[in-house]
Amino acid sequence: MIKFPSILFSSLLTFSLSNEIKYELSIIDSLSEKGIHYESFLRAKKLYNKNPNNIEVICRMAGTNFIKAQNESDRDKQKKNFYHGFDYAKKAIRLDSLDGYANFWYAAYIGRIGEIEGIKQAILNSYDVKKYGLRAIQFISEKYDPVYHMMGRWHYELADLSEIEKVLASLIYAKPPDGSYEEAIDYFRAAIEIKPNEIRNHFWLGRTYLAIGKRDFAIKQFKIVLSLNPRDRDDEIMQSQAREVVNL
């Protein structure tokens, strides 16, 4: 009987576990990419239960939970799921504050929770959305379109504040957050360059063009939205809204 040195056995075990995690992460990502979100969430949860301190696994848990919450039709359950998912994002940041995806999901969750809690909290949280969103762009080595899309939405939503909301913002801070449609356009274009077949990137670029009165540019984007294959309910909703604008 061959006896392996304990250090060799430990190395082989670590290598095996690492490969297993990478394999599972690839499946989770593949399912999510195909719009099979709930199955992606279940696999991420199972993997997280086995590896609760792996930064990549925690980020996948945060990500799949975010989409699960987003697709929840019951508002109370949705709110609960977002708060629950925020715990994963906070854990990821505590574990590695320089991880780009940890920063991205922290920004995504704190932004959504601001929306849930109302305009005042949304404005308060907007500073952290920008801070962690820009850190995500800095720390994620590959081109990752969701973070550019998120920053595009950040600029769009702040530029789109009503006059009353702008007054409220000025009461909260001496210098309210300064989003602009022009910067939103730049971020959405960057997202499209990375992932040209993503419906939401074209849809929100189209909405931004509409906001600044460039209807012809908007129609072009909405036609692209209608030419792409929807992956989930959100894509179908955006296509429906794009179709209304195109048919006016």
Say which residue the tokens 């908007």 belong to. 218
Same domain, 62 and 147: no
Same domain, 146 and 248: yes
User: Has residue 9 been placed in a domain?
Assistant: no
Same domain, 84 and 155: no
Same domain, 106 and 185: no
For every residue of the chain, DSSP letters joined together read -----HHHHHHHHHHHHHHHHHHHHHHHHHHHHTT-HHHHHHHHHHHHHH-TT-HHHHHHHHHHHHHHHHT--SHHHHHHHHHHHHHHHHHHHHH-TT-HHHHHHHHHHHHHHHHHH-HHHHHHHHHHHHHHHHHHHHH--S--HHHHHHHHHHHHHHHT--HHHHHHHHHH-SS-----HHHHHHHHHHHHHH-TT-HHHHHHHHHHHHHTT-HHHHHHHHHHHHHSPP-SHHHHHHHHHHHHHHT-
Contact at 8 Å (CB) between 191 and 155? no
Which range is least confidently modeled, 54-58, 125-129, 170-174, 227-231? 170-174
Counting Cα atoms < 13 Å in the Cβ hemisphere of 188 gives: 24
Model confidence at 204, in pLDDT bands (50, 70, 90)?
very high
Checking if the pLDDT of 225 tops 90, the result is yes
3-state secondary structure 31-42: HHHCCCHHHHHH
Same domain, 26 and 92: yes
Mean pLDDT on 104-113: 97
Checking if the pLDDT of 17 tops 70, the result is no
Count of domains observed in the chain: 2
Residues 230, 58: Cα–Cα separation, whole Å? 28
Question: What is the sign, positive or negative, of the torsion defined by CA atoms of 177, 181, 187, 192?
Answer: positive
User: Has residue 165 been placed in a domain?
Assistant: yes
Predicted local confidence at residue 12, as pLDDT: 40
Domain that holds residue 52: 18-118
Q: What is the residue-averaged pLDDT of the chain?
A: 90
Last residue of a domain, one of 103, 118, 133: 118
Provide the whole-model pTM.
0.87
Where residue 108 sits, what CATH number does that domain have? 1.25.40.10
